[in-house]
Amino acid sequence: MDFEFTEEQRMAIDGARRFAQEKLAPAVAELDEKGEVNLKALKELGGLGYLGMTVAEEDGGSALGAVAYAGSMIEFSKVDAGCAVAVSVQNSLVNDAVAHFGTPAQRKRFLPKLASGEWIGCFSLTEAGAGSDPASMRTTAKRQDGGFVLNGTKNFTTNGGIADAIIVFTRSEAPPGGKPGISAFLLTKDAPGFKVGKHENKMGIRTSSTTEMVFEDCRLPADALLGEEGKGLKVALATLDGGRIGIASQAVGIAEGALEEAVRYAKERVQFGKPIAELEGLQFMLADMATEVEVAKTMLFRVAWMKDAGKPRFTKEAAMLKLYASEMAHRVCHKAVQVHGGYGFMKEYKVERLYRDQRITEIYEGTSEIQRYVIARSILGA
């Protein structure tokens, strides 16, 4: 097994690191305070190929693969986790869903614009009463005049306020000879009857857009259907396997950033006449943090390799990865704040933001409890 990056992967990851330091770092504190998206930088990332990393070249992507994508996500997340999650949604949820389930016409229309950053995409699944249980969703799609009419409201949609392309999941009527189910639709922001609703004021990842998505007699043509009618849950579940790579990458990046800040501070902070880095108890804390980050990175690149290798199923491994990486990041960020003492509680210090940003990684794209459920069903053969 080769643990070395290829030259192409290394160049992509190094480029992501430079971009994060040069374009994201100078603005992130102010944008976090305001709750605003660095849309200019996000569009630039599209031009550099980072919004189409797993899209084939013939569809307008850079085709760099999941390993390069995971490594790049780590670098973005160290600096601006909100921008990173926008990159994750674009690559893992929107692009992958269109690439795997879209018709040739849908792929031709959407993927080049998404991969280049001309369009930003979002994936709208959650509702107020349907989070971990998507079967409880109440947004509906009814067939009418050869197309569909959508009604309902979606919650917590990442990229919602900046999205040009939208994937939305609805309850649908039973097709002839079939049963009612969940259907997925692919539309643009100018679809009649669609509007962006409430913009959420969040604890963390404040540099990302999180909104309601409102559908009021939203009329779509028949060719807006993504995948088969009534089988949209298959689209969601298959896409979320890859999405968990993105969120795990985000968690690893946040944790690695927190570790780096803790090490730097420990070397600078003097107590009892010497740097606190010389205290054995603190050294052990840093050693545990570094070990956990390294374990998560190893898991991450293994699952990313599985995706690149075309493994048909990596649901269990993706769930294990997302579970461990997100909870590891919680532990590491907690200790990083502790290393900083009272200063870790102050907004002037980066670890305060990293601590807030980390928390969502244990919730979105499947809570830790849902990951445990997925893993248990897999190992029990349920």
Following DSSP, what letter does each residue of 269-321 receive, concatenated?
-EETTEEGGG-HHHHHHHHHHHHHHHHHHHHHHHHHHHHHTT-S--HHHHHHH
Q: Identify the pLDDT of residue 312.
A: 77
- The amino acid present at 238, given as its one-letter code, is A
The domains found in the chain, sorted by start residue, are: 7-119 (1.10.540.10), 124-230 (2.40.110.10), 234-380 (1.20.140.10)
How far is residue 63's CA from residue 61's CA, in Å, rounded to a whole number?
6
**Distance (Å, whole) CA 16 – CA 21:** 9
The H or E element spanning position 198 is strand 194-199
What the block records as the tokens of 218 is: 């939203």
What pLDDT, on a 0 to 100 scale, did the predictor assign at position 222?
A: 97
pLDDT at residue 176, as a whole number = 67
Whether residue 296 has pLDDT greater than 90: yes
For residue 159, what pLDDT is reported? 98
Indicate if the pLDDT at residue 3 is higher than 90: no
Query: Looking at the DSSP assignment, which residues form a beta bridge with residue 102?
Result: none
pLDDT at position 175: 67
Q: Is 215:139 a contact under the CB 8 Å cutoff?
A: yes
Average pLDDT, the chain: 96
Q: How many Å apart are CA 301 and CA 9, to the nearest integer?
A: 12
Q: Confidence class of residue 2 from pLDDT cuts 50, 70 and 90? A: confident
* Residue 316 exposed, middle or buried by CB count within 10 Å (0-12, 13-18, 19+): middle
pTM for this one?
0.96
Q: What is the pLDDT, as a whole number, of residue 52?
A: 98
- DSSP run (H or E) holding 46: helix 39-47
Q: Report the chain's terminal Cα–Cα distance, integer Å.
A: 31
348 catalytic residue (yes or no): no
Looking at residues 109-121, what average pLDDT do you find?
98
Catalytic residue chosen out of the listed positions 33, 173, 365, 369 = 365
Q: Residues 6 or more apart from 65 whose CB is under 8 A from it?
A: 9, 53, 54, 304, 307, 308
Collapsed DSSP state (helix, strand, coil) of residue 204? coil
On whether the CB atoms of residues 141 and 150 are closer than 8 A, the answer is yes
pLDDT at position 313 is 83
- List, as one string, the DSSP characters of 147-183: EEEEEEEEEEEETGGG-SEEEEEEEEPPPTTS--EEE
Tokens for 287? 């050693």
Of 112-126, 178-192, 218-232, 343-357, least confident by mean pLDDT is 178-192
pLDDT greater than 90 at residue 216: yes
For residues 159 and 199, the answer to whether their CB atoms sit within 8 Å is: no
Specify the 3-state DSSP secondary structure of 274. Answer: strand
In terms of Cα–Cα distance, which of 107, 120, 99, 106 is closest to 45?
Answer: 120
Per-residue pLDDT of 234-269, as tens digits, reads 999 999 888 999 999 999 999 999 999 999 999 999
Segment among 168-182, 243-257, 335-349 with least mean pLDDT? 168-182
CA neighbor of 81 nearest in space, from 332, 366, 363, 356: 356
Give the pLDDT band (50/70/90) at residue 46. Answer: very high
Q: Which amino acid is at 286?
A: L
70-82 burial by CB neighbour count: b if 16+ within 10 A, else e?
Answer: bbbbbbbbbbbbb
**Amino acid 134: pLDDT:** 84
Q: What is the share, in percent, of the chain residues with pLDDT greater than 90?
A: 92
Q: How many residues does the chain have?
A: 382
Determine if residue 153 is left, alpha or beta; phi over 0 gives left, psi from -120 to 50 gives alpha, anything else beta. Answer: beta
Is 62:52 a contact under the CB 8 Å cutoff? yes
In angstroms, what is the C-alpha Rg of the chain? 21
Confidence of residue 311 (pLDDT cuts 50, 70, 90): confident
- Report which DSSP code applies to 344: G
Buried b or exposed e, range 225-240, using 16+ CB within 10 angstroms: bbbebbbbbebbebbb
